[in-house]
Amino acid sequence: MARVSLFSSPLLLGFDRFERTLDRIGRTGEGYPPYNIEQLSENRLRITLAVAGFAREELEISLEANQLTIRGKQAEQPERIFLHRGIAARQFQRSFVLADGLEIAGAGLTNGLLEIDIVRPVSEPEIRKIPIRNAADGDGRIKIASSPAGAPRKEASK
């Protein structure tokens, strides 16, 4: 049976990116490594992952579009013989979808905790003044010439 999309309505045009994002979020079900998301201030967040046993060289952080991905892979140690192995030494991949406008400020590894700082730059709202022209005709309306579908509209010449 085909899956019906939440965004299949003809009134919801251009929402395919949101649908793909929701699909990606739904696929990340594994709980390793554990993590915290902390709000440091109004415009700063920190994601902390517990990555005990991983060296900095065994971790990779990447950002593609709005998806932050953290990967860890430890090198095999065939020369070591374990009588009991209770410390996880498996590879992992953890992904987070970031909202538009968020930026990665940096990352650090201390005492087995990988901290990734995220900021939302504060920008002043841009205020544009739109000039109001006098219409050539006395009715006060701007004349727009009809154009073929898809072609940009231009003002009718006088």
Neighbours of 72 (CB within 10 A): 21
The predicted structure's pLDDT at residue 158: 47
Beta carbons within 8 Å of 95's beta carbon, 6+ residues apart: 24, 28, 67, 68, 69, 70
Is 50 a residue whose pLDDT tops 60? Answer: yes
Within a domain: 22: no
What pLDDT is stored for residue 64 in this prediction?
A: 93
Decide if 63 is inside a domain.
yes
Residue that wins the pLDDT comparison between 122 and 21: 122
Is 24 contained in some domain?
no
Within a 10 A sphere around the Cβ of 68, how many other Cβ atoms? 19
> Is 46 domain-assigned?
yes
Residue 47 lies in a domain: yes
What per-residue confidence (pLDDT) applies to 99? 87
* Percent of the chain at pLDDT exceeding 70: 65
pLDDT tens-digit profile of 106-130?
999 999 999 999 999 888 888 889 8
Look at residue 110 and tell me if it is in a domain. yes
Specify the number of domains making up the chain: 1
Higher pLDDT pick, 74 / 108? 108
Q: What is the pTM of this model?
A: 0.62
Q: Which of 9, 28, 17 is nearest to 68 (CA)?
A: 28
**Domain-embedded: residue 94:** yes
CATH code where residue 55 lies: 2.60.40.790
Question: What average pLDDT does the chain have?
Answer: 80
Domain hosting 54: range is 33-119
Q: Looking at the domain assignment, is residue 73 inside a domain?
A: yes
